Amino acid sequence: MSQPRPDRRDRRRTMITPEGIALPITLASRGSRFGALMIDLIVMTLGFTAFNLLLGLIAALLDLADGKGPSKSPKSDPLFDFLNVAAFMLLFLFRHGYFLIFELGPRGSTPGKRMLGIRVAARDGGRLTTEMVLARNLLRDIELFLPIGALASLAGGGTGNAVILLWLLLFALLPFINRDRLRAGDLVAGSWVVERPRQKLEAVMSSGQTAATGTSQTTGASYRFSDAELAIYGELELQTLERVLRENRHEAMIAVHEAICRKIGWNPGAGDERAFLEVYYTQLRNRLESGMRMGKRKASKHE
Partner 1 sequence: MSVVAGRNDAAIAAAALRSDRFRIEREADWKRLEDILDRMERGRISRLADEDLLELPVLYRTVASSLSVARETSLDAATLAYLETLVQRAWFLVYGPRTSLLGWLRRFFGGEWSRSVRAIWPEILVALILMVAGTAVGWLLCAADPQWYYSLVPGQFLDVRQPGASREVLLGTLFGNQDQPQLSVMAAYLFNNNAGVAITCFALGFAFGVPPILLLIQNTTPLGAMLWLYNGQGLTLDLIGWISIHGTTELFAILLAGASGLHIGRSMAFPGDLSVLDAAAKAGQRASVVMAGVLIMMAIAGLLEGFARQLIDNTPARLAVGYGILAFWVVYFFLFRRVPPASEAI
Number of residues in contact with partner 1 under rule CB under 8 A: 78
Question: Using CA atoms, how far apart are residues 173 and 69, in angstroms rounded to an integer?
Answer: 53
Neighbours of 239 (CB within 10 A): 12
What's the rounded Cα separation, in Å, for the pair 281 and 259? 14
Instruction: State in angstroms the smallest separation of the CB of 222 from partner 1.
Output: 14
CB of 228 to partner 1, least distance (A): 20
By CB under 8 A, tell whether 222 contacts partner 1.
no
Using CB under 8 A as the binding rule, whether residue 89 contacts partner 1 is answered as yes
Residue whose C-alpha is closest to residue 179's, from 8, 11, 7, 33: 11
CA angle 251, 254, 255 (to 5 degrees): 90
Closest to partner 1 by CB, 103 or 229: 103
Residue 12 CB, nearest approach to partner 1 (Å):
12
Does 239 bind partner 1 (CB under 8 A)? Our answer is yes
The mark string for 45-84 relative to partner 1 (x by CB under 8 A, - otherwise) is ------------------------------xx----xx-x
End-to-end alpha carbon distance in the chain: 19
Residues 152-181 touching partner 1, rule: CB under 8 A, are none
24 vs 156, which CB is nearer to partner 1? 24
Find all residues with CB under 8 Å of 75, minimum gap 6, and list them.
none
Do residues 221 and 285 make contact, with C-beta atoms less than 8 angstroms apart?
no
State in angstroms the smallest separation of the CB of 214 from partner 1.
Answer: 8
- If one asks whether residue 7 binds partner 1 (CB under 8 A), the answer comes out as no
> Helix crossing, 78-92 with 30-66: angle to 10°?
180
Q: Contact between 261 and partner 1 (CB under 8 A)? A: no
Which of 121, 164, 244, 260 is close enough to bind partner 1 by CB under 8 A? Answer: 121
Burial of residue 147 (number of CB atoms within 10 Å: 0-12, 13-18, 19+): buried
Residue whose CB is less far from partner 1, 85 or 232? 85
Q: Is 294 in the site for partner 1 (CB under 8 A)?
A: no
Report the residue from 39, 58, 62, 122 that binds partner 1 according to the rule CB under 8 A.
Answer: 122
Write down the least CB distance from residue 267 to partner 1, Å: 26
Which helix (H) or strand (E) is 150 found in, with range? helix 146-154
